[in-house]
Amino acid sequence: MVRLGVNESKLSKMEAEEQALVDAARKEMEETAWPEGNSVTKGVTSLHDAKNSF
């Protein structure tokens, strides 16, 4: 991007903004409660709910 005329300070600002968004998304994901065990099969293998085989 530098060769296209974008200066280093603009690139640094973009990188910092992107990292902040990634960090915020990761924090939100890590704070999210784990799903109930009986709900994790819904829509996983197909458009229909997966069946318990045990």
Q: Is the dihedral of CA 3, 7, 8, 10 positive or negative?
A: negative
Confidence band of 38 (pLDDT split at 50, 70, 90): confident
pLDDT at residue 36 greater than cutoff 60: yes
b/e per residue, 39-53, with b = 16+ CB within 10 A? eeeeeeeeeeeeeee
The secondary structure of the chain as a DSSP string is -GGGT--HHHHHHHHHHHHHHHHHHHHHHHHSPPPPGGGTTTTSSSSSPPPP--
Query: pLDDT digit string (tens) for 2-33?
Result: 788 889 999 999 999 999 999 999 999 999 99
Kindly report whether the global pTM for this prediction surpasses the value 0.95.
Answer: no
